[in-house]
Amino acid sequence: MDATERDAAGLDAADPLAPARARFALPDGIIYLDGNSLGALPVPVTERLADAVTRQWGQDLVRGWNDDGWWAAPERIGDRIGALIGAAPGQTVAGDSTSVQLFNALTAAVRLQAGRPPGTPGRGGVIVTDAGQFPTDGYVADSVGRLLGREVVRTPDPYAALDRGDVAVLAWSTVDFRTGELWDTARLTAAAHDAGAVVVWDLCHAVGALPLQMDTARVDVAVGCSYKYLSGGPGAPAFIYIAERHQAGLDQPLTGWNGHSRPFDMEPGYQAASGIARARIGTPPMLSMLALDAALDVFDGVDLAAVRAKSLRLGEFFIAGADDVLAGLGFEVVTPRAAERRGSHVSLRHPDALPLMAALIEAGVIGDVRPPDLLRFGFNALYTSFGDLARALEILREVTASGRYREPRFQVRPVVT
């Protein structure tokens, strides 16, 4: 056992969240550091999904919409997610993908501003969004801009952009998917409001990894996915949070029948439901919804402040280990070192990121890569141990120092997402 592994053993022994690992079905022999892309399988999901298929669908058939609570599931699960993002009940609903929710959110936010009295700063203004964000956010913003005739400004500095004085909507990600940089949701939301802008947050890389305060930060709208730190499963439903004060006035473009005030009256004209139900769109993917519901059980009794505290310690440990164990091997830590600017993954830059990750995965350490040269390592405080990180660093050192990653079979993209 080297010094890093000895430190890890001590930290794991003192970790109050260590027992939470048993809530996940992690495969033997794998060190899983990609829960920031697809969370590991929570134990309750297997049995509950089997029940959803065999009993609920198989036996109850269409009655399941009432008898098994399928119809109410998006709001019920939305409230469970709401509890993890600092949202009082009735403001969060689960469904669709983040991309779809973003389109709905951005379009509705621009329309909200367009309805303000003449002379209001954001009324006819631009959409400002993060220059380095996840592609879907930029693609959707561009499309909304074209649709509504608004300029889209992509910038690395939202505060400077707000100084323009004509920002209708600021759309930003809490944690940068590449670098893991964390933005101060409350501070940026307040700055946006001071400038007359409405703010739409993308919480994908933050939800379940750290405490969030949608209500107290007076966030307007937020969206996020549930397949990362919430471990809802591949393609799990996304969610949207709409602050109660905006719900009645929000005109969403995707007016599916599930968001109608009387969906089963099958009326020809659309009349939005009151409350967060208006953010529903079409028939939800119920099996995925029920898998997510079961997955959220792993957060029962969990204090997100403790999750955050451990996640920060994991990040510190990994960064210090990278400085030490990987010294001289061409790696650069690109994630901010300051705790208040760091989410729950750490990215290392290396010119051979792709073959290195492929070799690492073959050796049983699963992370991922983001082009052109970043290796990402995600830490889920509920199941990542300090021992995992010590071992992963040692394997990465070995794979790199030996030059093994240069073998031709590693010159391929190792993972899809």
Ligand X SMILES: Cc1ncc(COP(=O)(O)O)c(C=O)c1O
**Interface residues with ligand X (CB under 6 A)?**
97-99, 134, 136-137, 173, 177, 202, 204-205, 225, 238
How far is the C-alpha of 251 from the C-alpha of 15, rounded, in Å? 47
Please state the three-class secondary structure of 248-297 as a single string. CCCCCCCCCHHHECCHHHCCCCCCECCHHHHHCCCCCCHHHHHHHHHHHH
Our CB check for ligand X shows the closer of 97 and 155 to be 97
Least Å from the CB of residue 395 to ligand X: 25
For the chain, the helix, strand and coil percentages under 3-state DSSP, each to the nearest 5: 45, 15, 40
Cβ-contact 276, 222 below 8 angstroms = no
Our CB check for ligand X shows the closer of 15 and 130 to be 130
Catalytic-labelled residue, pool 24, 32, 103, 227: 227
Our CB check for ligand X shows the closer of 205 and 278 to be 205
How far is the C-alpha of 393 from the C-alpha of 375, rounded, in Å? 12
Least Å from the CB of residue 369 to ligand X: 13
Cβ-contact 192, 199 below 8 angstroms = yes
Residues in the chain: 417
Least Å from the CB of residue 349 to ligand X: 19
Cβ-contact 229, 208 below 8 angstroms = yes
DSSP 42: B
Six token digits for residue 35: 């829960």
Least Å from the CB of residue 59 to ligand X: 32
Closest CA relative to residue 307, chosen from 243, 411, 379:
379
Cβ within 8 Å of residue 412, ≥6 positions away: 354, 358
Catalytic-labelled residue, pool 21, 310, 376, 397: 376
Cβ within 8 Å of residue 314, ≥6 positions away: 344, 379, 381, 384, 386, 389
Catalytic-labelled residue, pool 34, 137, 202, 388: 202
Our CB check for ligand X shows the closer of 113 and 174 to be 174
- The three-point CA angle 13-18-22 to 5° equals 135
Six token digits for residue 349: 């830059």
Catalytic-labelled residue, pool 228, 278, 280, 397: 228
Examine the residue annotation and report whether 60 is marked as an active-site residue of this protein.
Answer: no
Catalytic-labelled residue, pool 32, 103, 134, 377: 134
Least Å from the CB of residue 58 to ligand X: 29
Six token digits for residue 183: 């933005």
Examine the residue annotation and report whether 310 is marked as an active-site residue of this protein.
Answer: no
Examine the residue annotation and report whether 404 is marked as an active-site residue of this protein.
Answer: no
Closest CA relative to residue 279, chosen from 324, 249, 311, 247:
247
Least Å from the CB of residue 311 to ligand X: 17
Our CB check for ligand X shows the closer of 15 and 202 to be 202
Examine the residue annotation and report whether 134 is marked as an active-site residue of this protein.
Answer: yes
Least Å from the CB of residue 94 to ligand X: 12
For the CA atoms of the chain, what is the radius of gyration?
Answer: 22
Our CB check for ligand X shows the closer of 34 and 137 to be 137
Our CB check for ligand X shows the closer of 20 and 222 to be 222
List residues with catalytic annotation. 134, 202, 227-228, 376
